[in-house]
Structure 1
Amino acid sequence: MQTEARHTEILARARDKGKVSATSLATHMGVAVQTIRRDLRQLSDAGLLERVHGGAVLPSGTRNIGYDDRRALNRDAKARIAAKAALLIPDNASLFLNIGTTTEALARALRNHRNLKVVTNNLNVAMTLADVRGCEIVVAGGVLRPSDGGLVGDLAAIAISRFKVDIAVIGASAIDLDGDLLDFDPEEIRVSQAIITAARKTMVIADKAKFTRKAPVKIGSLAHVEDFITDGIPSERLANALADWQTKVHLA
């Protein structure tokens, strides 16, 4: 089966099932697993699929994929981005970290920092930093979203509004090519916007795959962000816009 035919078949099965396995696709098509992985990578680069552990899922503009699958998605890039972001965060700083697998990766990268005060609506972040000596954790109250350990809604936003921290670190589910930061849940976005408002400086951390995703609700814009840490900028137009906005881009 030629490459184009395999891609057509893979997309058809993804539309039917929502998720495809590299192993089952290889068996079905009679090719090596490595061939299917290359196909999935090409389809992911084209924005037609999203890679997850063992296979790929069909991207959605209205519904996020599962948290465990998001953890596996672009894991290495997220780790590099987190390490780069950690270098920009000094000891003795106060931070907000919102919900997301990239902010969770940043929490792991911050475990050697000293005397941090971290306010978060992300239980995964809180538990990652809970045993770090000298790190004070404040968990914003709110409605627990069991799917990802996030605390959302008005109570979380009100709790966050009582703080003024040095740096808000924000992740997003998608980024439009005009620089808009997007997510899926209006209740979560209300909290993210409160985080940005209550910080002296905003840092966005997101891998380049977020530029090929879509989500329906706007958090804000890269135009109002001081630092953007990513592993790639998709277009010269956006790169020029970031320069005009004086948003510092740090490539991981």
Structure 2
Amino acid sequence: MNLGPRQQDILDLARERGYVSIDELAQAFAVTPQTIRRDINQLAEHGLLRRTHGGAASEASSTQNTAYAMRAGQNRDEKQRIADAVAEHIPDHASLFINIGTTTEAIARALMGHKGLKVITNNLHVAAQLADKQDFEVLVAGGTVRSDGGIVGQAAVDFIQQFKVDYALVGISGIDEDGSLLDFDYQEVRVSQAIIENARQVFLAADSSKFGRNAVVRLGSIALVDRLFTDHQPSPALARLLAEHKVQLEAV
């Protein structure tokens, strides 16, 4: 495929950021959303991009996640809006699980204005952030520490299963159109499954780049979630699944 200058720029932005929205591209290139949609469709037809609801994502591997440093820089504004919305639904003196992910790390920062939280986490970045708050109690799971600060393995699962908390605040790598929650690391998924099983309410925080994103390990169904916090309305098919399973949608 011979790319035009705008199409090449779109492709470069998607590879750099992981996800680009139609609205931001239309504004950046001073063209209509329909023009951007045609560009994305052509790039997707040649396997260079993956169409998502409201935008496009880099055609990345389904077996290997993006590097942590890159993930931390992607969709920061969207993650912060999601984090602020999640924090508004958490009362003071609540007990929480918080799992691995850059969005859950943003949630930890948004919770710093709360009082008396008890937090159990397998994310070292979350623990380090929340430990600065003297009226918080922070418990960290044992296990194998990954380069991104995540803690995984059977020891982490066993630790999580000792608790029953008010809320699980979880992130995910991908949400398939059939409602499957997907991730890349089987050991990470095992810990997240234990977190979900031992919480009274499950809040899933996922920016719109996660819609339709491929990953090889299935955590479970969207039916496990009580509330989904995201920055865009999902596709009609996924919206129907949310309604069918009584998952409350919080699009911020």
Shorter-chain TM-score bucket reads 0.7 to 0.9
Pairing 1:48-197 to 2, within 5 Å after superposition = 48=49, 58-146=59-147, 148-197=148-197
Task: Give deviations 1:152-179, integer Å, cap 9, x for gaps.
Answer: 0100000000011110111001110121
- Asked if 1:216 corresponds to 2:223, the answer is no
The structure-2 alpha-carbon separation of the partners of 1:126 and 1:212, relative to structure 1 and needing over 3 Å to count, comes to same
The structure-2 alpha-carbon separation of the partners of 1:74 and 1:10, relative to structure 1 and needing over 3 Å to count, comes to closer
- Off by >3 Å, runs of 4+ in structure 1: 2-6, 8-11, 18-21, 39-47
Task: Give deviations 1:80-106, integer Å, cap 9, x for gaps.
Answer: 000000001100000000000000000
- Unaligned stretches of 5+ residues in structure 1: 22-33, 51-55
Pairing 1:197-208 to 2, within 5 Å after superposition = 197-208=197-208
Question: 1:237: how far off?
Answer: 2.0
- For residue 110 of structure 1, what is the amino acid of its counterpart? L
- Unaligned stretches of 5+ residues in structure 2: 18-27, 30-34, 52-56
Secondary structure of the corresponding residue to residue 110 of structure 1:
helix
- For residue 130 of structure 2, what is the amino acid of its counterpart? L
The structure-2 alpha-carbon separation of the partners of 1:48 and 1:162, relative to structure 1 and needing over 3 Å to count, comes to same
Q: Give the aligned length.
A: 227
The structure-2 alpha-carbon separation of the partners of 1:62 and 1:104, relative to structure 1 and needing over 3 Å to count, comes to same
Contact 2:160–2:195 (CA<8 Å) still a contact in 1? yes
Query: Normalised by the size of structure 1, how large is the TM-score?
Result: 0.81
- For residue 229 of structure 1, what is the amino acid of its counterpart? F
Task: Give deviations 1:133-160, integer Å, cap 9, x for gaps.
Answer: 21000000010112x1010010000000
In structure 2, distance between residues paired with 1:89 and 1:63 = 32
Question: 1:224: how far off?
Answer: 2.0
- For residue 144 of structure 2, what is the amino acid of its counterpart? V
Query: Normalised by the size of structure 2, how large is the TM-score?
Result: 0.81
RMSD: 3.1
Task: Give deviations 1:42-87, integer Å, cap 9, x for gaps.
Answer: 759979279xxxxx96522111011110011111000000000000
Question: 1:212: how far off?
Answer: 3.7
Contact 1:95–1:117 (CA<8 Å) still a contact in 2? yes
In structure 2, distance between residues paired with 1:80 and 1:179 = 23
In structure 2, distance between residues paired with 1:186 and 1:193 = 10
Contact 1:114–1:133 (CA<8 Å) still a contact in 2? no
Q: Which of 2-11 and 95-104 deviates more?
A: 2-11
> Identity rate of aligned residues, in percent?
49
Contact 2:196–2:224 (CA<8 Å) still a contact in 1? no
- For residue 168 of structure 2, what is the amino acid of its counterpart? A
- For residue 65 of structure 2, what is the amino acid of its counterpart? N
